[in-house]
C-alpha cells in the first residue's frame, strides 16, 4: 500500500472513527484502526465489536493495500504533522507503515488487516431516509434520559420506532422519560421498531454534527444490527434485545395544573437550586401558586443542604388550575431544559404524587416526563 492524503483530512477521519476503538480488549487488533484503499479513497475503520465506525477520505492511491495501526499512536503522530500532504507506505514483509509529513518521518508497527473483524456492509435499498437536522436534534432530546448503568440493559438503549411517515425516539431510566417525534420526507414501507444503544446514537449525533445530506438507516433482517449511512461516514451498531417499557402508559393523560414559564428563567432557577439540592439526591421543592387579577402566578423553587445551606428562587408564571406543592429531581429538569429552545415551557402536574410533564410551548413533537420525589419537608 502506498497512498498520500492531506494531514487535516486524515486527522479529521481519525477523530471520527477513534471513538469506536475498544478501550480494553483481549484482542490487540481491536485497539487498532484499519486503513485500506477503497476505490480511489482511503477507508478508516474502528470497532469494539458492539459499535463500528467507518470514514472515507480523499487520497491519491499509488498502490492498493490495507493494514491496521494502534489508534492512539497513529492519532498522536498525525496531530504532530504539519498541514499538507502525508505519505504512507506499507512494508508488508515487516508489517510496518512509514508515515511521512514535512520533515517528520515515522515507522509504525502494524497488525495484519486480515485479523481485523469484518464490518458488515449495508444494503441501502430498503433504508429509511432521515433528515439529518431532525436526527441530530432527536438524539440530543432523548439520549441523556437513557440509563447509564447496566442493571437493566434495556434502559441503556433508545427505542426507535418508524410507523408510516413518523419516526419516534424514546428513552427512559425508570425515573424520567423523554420522547421526540419527527416526520419523514417519504413514508416507510413497513413499521420498524428497534432498541439502539444510547452510546451508539450519541456517537451518531457527534458524527452527524457537520453533515447536511440525508442520513439513511437500515436494519438488515436477522442480523440484530442497525446501520446508519451518512456522507463519507457509516456507523454500525448491535441492537439491544428485549422489550422496551410501554412508555405511552407512563405519560399522564390529564393534568389539574398547567404552569407556563420562561424557559431561560426556569432553567436558571433550577440550576441555582441544584447547587444545594445535589447534596440531597438533587431534590428540590416546587410550590406553584396561581396569580390573581393583578399579579402573575408564582413558582417558588427551594432546595436545602445540611452542610451547604439553602436556596429559594421565584419564577413568574401563567398558571391554569389549582395551586400545588411537589418535589422533583431538579438535575433531571435542568437536563431537559438545556435542550428546549422555545421561549416558554409548560409544566403539567396533577398531584404531588403524580409524574410531571414538561413541554416546549408551541411545539408538539417533544415531551418529557419526570417522576415526583418524596420531600423531607
- List the chain pLDDT tens, one digit each, 377 residues: 999 999 999 999 999 999 999 988 889 999 999 999 999 999 999 999 999 999 999 999 999 999 999 999 999 999 999 999 999 999 999 999 999 999 999 999 999 999 999 998 877 777 899 999 999 999 999 999 999 998 899 999 999 999 999 999 999 999 999 999 999 988 988 899 999 999 999 999 999 987 888 899 999 888 899 999 999 999 999 999 999 999 999 999 999 999 999 999 999 999 999 999 999 999 999 999 999 878 899 999 999 998 999 999 999 999 999 999 999 999 999 999 999 999 999 999 999 999 999 999 999 999 999 999 986 54
In sign, the C-alpha dihedral spanning 59, 63, 67, 72 is negative
Residues 83-96, buried b or exposed e (16+ Cβ, 10 A)?
eeebebbbeeeeeb
Domains of the chain as residue ranges with CATH:
2-115 (3.10.150.10), 124-247 (3.10.150.10), 251-370 (3.10.150.10)
Residue 174, sorted as left (phi over 0), alpha (psi -120 to 50) or beta, turns out to be left
pLDDT digits (tens, 9 = 90+) for 243-264: 999 999 999 999 999 999 999 9
Dihedrals phi, psi of 177, to nearest 5 degrees: -140, 135
Predicted local distance difference test score (pLDDT) of residue 130 = 94
Predicted local distance difference test score (pLDDT) of residue 377 = 46
DSSP 188: -
User: What is the β-pairing status of strands 283-289 and 41-47?
Assistant: unpaired
C-alpha span between 284 and 372 (Å, rounded) = 10
Question: What cell was used for 88?
Answer: 504512507
* 261, 358 contact by CB (below 8 A): no
Q: What is the DSSP string of 117-158?
A: PPPPPP-GGG-EEE-HHHHHHHHHHHGGGS--STTSGGGGEE
In sign, the C-alpha dihedral spanning 307, 308, 309, 312 is negative
Amino acid at each position: 500500500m502506498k497512498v498520500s492524503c492531506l494531514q487535516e483530512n486524515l486527522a479529521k477521519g481519525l477523530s471520527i472513527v477513534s471513538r469506536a476503538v475498544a478501550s480494553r480488549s483481549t484482542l490487540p487488533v481491536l485497539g487498532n484502526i484499519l486503513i485500506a484503499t477503497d476505490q480511489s479513497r482511503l477507508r478508516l475503520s474502528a470497532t469494539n465489536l458492539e459499535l463500528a465506525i467507518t470514514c472515507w477520505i480523499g487520497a491519491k492511491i499509488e498502490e492498493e493495500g490495507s493494514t491496521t495501526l494502534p489508534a492512539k499512536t497513529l492519532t498522536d503522530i498525525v496531530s504532530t504533522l504539519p498541514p499538507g500532504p502525508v505519505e504512507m507506505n506499507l512494508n508488508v514483509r515487516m508489517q510496518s507503515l512509514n508515515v511521512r509529513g514535512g520533515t517528520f518521518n515515522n515507522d509504525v508497527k502494524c497488525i495484519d488487516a486480515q485479523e481485523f473483524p469484518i464490518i458488515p456492509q449495508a444494503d441501502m435499498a430498503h433504508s429509511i431516509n432521515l433528515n439529518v437536522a431532525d436526527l441530530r436534534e432527536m438524539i440530543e432530546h432523548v439520549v441523556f434520559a437513557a440509563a447509564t448503568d447496566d442493571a437493566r440493559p434495556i434502559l441503556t438503549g433508545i427505542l426507535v420506532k418508524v410507523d408510516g411517515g413518523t419516526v419516534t425516539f424514546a428513552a427512559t431510566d425508570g425515573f424520567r422519560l423523554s420522547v421526540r417525534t419527527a416526520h419523514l420526507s417519504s413514508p416507510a414501507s413497513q413499521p420498524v421498531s428497534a432498541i439502539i444503544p444510547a452510546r451508539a446514537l450519541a456517537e451518531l449525533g457527534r458524527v452527524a454534527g457537520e453533515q447536511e445530506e440525508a442520513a439513511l438507516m437500515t436494519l438488515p433482517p436477522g442480523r440484530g444490527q442497525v446501520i446508519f449511512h451518512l456522507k463519507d461516514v457509516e456507523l454500525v451498531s448491535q441492537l439491544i434485545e428485549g422489550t422496551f417499557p410501554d412508555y405511552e402508559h407512563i405519560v399522564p393523560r390529564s393534568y389539574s395544573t398547567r404552569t407556563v414559564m420562561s424557559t431561560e428563567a426556569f432553567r436558571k432557577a433550577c440550576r441555582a437550586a441544584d447547587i444545594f439540592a445535589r447534596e440531597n439526591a438533587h431534590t428540590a421543592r416546587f410550590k406553584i401558586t396561581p396569580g390573581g387579577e393583578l399579579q402573575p402566578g408564582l413558582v417558588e423553587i427551594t432546595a436545602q443542604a445540611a452542610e451547604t445551606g439553602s436556596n429559594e428562587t421565584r419564577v413568574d408564571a401563567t398558571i391554569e388550575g389549582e395551586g400545588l406543592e411537589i418535589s422533583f429531581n431538579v438535575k433531571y429538569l435542568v437536563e431537559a431544559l438545556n435542550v428546549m429552545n422555545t421561549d416558554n415551557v409548560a409544566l403539567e402536574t396533577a398531584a404531588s404524587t403524580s409524574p410531571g410533564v414538561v413541554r416546549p410551548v408551541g411545539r408538539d413533537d417533544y415531551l418529557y416526563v419526570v417522576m415526583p420525589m418524596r420531600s423531607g419537608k
